[in-house]
């Protein structure tokens, strides 16, 4: 059962403006990354369902977050069907993210009052997501569907649309400024937050500092 209410999840996403997106087959590494992000100010974290036994890693990671990072909201990403979403929700996922829109997943999440953030590539899909009860739609891959200008142009006729950008988001002032000024609800960021060399050496402080600086930039430009 989700620990955080739907309102708390969406508020945290909007106020911090960033959701790290991460997967590792090692539960210990995943826990270290969650802790590093938490110390950098992150309060919403997406663990992606991208490998064998990902659910087992998730179960350990979310229990660790609840014990060691009290305000960290952990959800699951890369969900494409309702049965998989149900499994992760049963183990405490506070939100569900997918690369595509699936109405069955939307109904399941609505039943549990868990936010569902589906991937959308067109204005029509964003509209369908809203009709299905999704408070936030993820444009994905954001860099391929038009980048920040896509968000800006969608919000002109649909100012109520809350849009999360994932893909082509980088922890630089120039990049984040463009997304925030376009009106992004929040951004999802993966590998750019987790430099391979630093990760391999267990230098978690690098992740912490990247998260901290990224959140500072977002706060500077967020509308």
Dump strand ranges (E) for the chain.
18-22, 44-48, 73-77, 96-97, 116-117, 119-120, 137-139, 163-166, 186-189
The domain spans of the chain are 6-221
The answer to pTM > 0.85 is yes
CATH of domain 6-221: 3.20.20.70
- What is the C-alpha separation between 127 and 95, in angstroms, rounded? 20
Task: Encode pLDDT of 36-56 as tens digits.
Answer: 999 999 999 999 999 999 999
Q: What residues form DSSP beta bridges with 140?
A: none
Reported as a pLDDT band with limits 50, 70 and 90, residue 179 is very high
* Residue 136 burial by Cβ neighbours in a 10 Å radius (0-12, 13-18, 19+): buried
Q: Which of 131, 44, 132 is nearest to 93 (CA)?
A: 44
Task: Encode pLDDT of 110-136 as tens digits.
Answer: 999 999 999 999 999 999 999 999 999
Is pLDDT at 2 greater than 90 in this prediction? Answer: no
- What is the C-alpha separation between 173 and 162, in angstroms, rounded? 22
- What is the C-alpha separation between 48 and 55, in angstroms, rounded? 10
Task: Encode pLDDT of 52-91 as tens digits.
Answer: 999 999 999 999 999 999 999 999 999 999 999 999 999 9
């Amino acid at each position: 059962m989700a620990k955080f209410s739907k309102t708390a999840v969406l508020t945290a996403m909007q106020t911090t403006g960033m959701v790290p997106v991460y997967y590792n087959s090692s539960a210990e590494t995943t826990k270290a990354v969650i802790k590093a992000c938490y110390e950098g100010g992150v309060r919403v974290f997406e663990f992606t369902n991208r490998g064998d036994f990902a659910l087992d890693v998730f179960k350990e990671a979310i229990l660790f977050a609840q014990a060691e990072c009290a305000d960290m909201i952990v959800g699951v990403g890369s969900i494409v069907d309702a049965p998989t979403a149900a499994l992760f929700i049963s183990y405490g996922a506070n939100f569900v993210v997918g690369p595509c829109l699936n109405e069955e997943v939307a109904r399941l999440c609505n039943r549990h009052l868990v936010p569902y953030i589906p991937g959308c590539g067109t204005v029509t899909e964003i509209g369908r997501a809203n009709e299905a009860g999704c408070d936030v739609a993820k444009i994905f891959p954001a860099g391929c569907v038009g980048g920040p200008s896509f968000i800006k142009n969608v919000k002109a006729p649909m100012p109520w649309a809350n849009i999360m950008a994932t893909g082509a988001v980088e922890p630089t002032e120039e990049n984040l400024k463009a997304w925030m000024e376009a009106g992004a609800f929040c951004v999802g960021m993966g590998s750019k937050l987790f430099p391979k060399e630093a990760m391999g050496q267990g230098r978690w402080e690098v992740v912490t500092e990247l998260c901290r600086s990224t959140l500072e930039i977002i706060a500077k430009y967020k509308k």
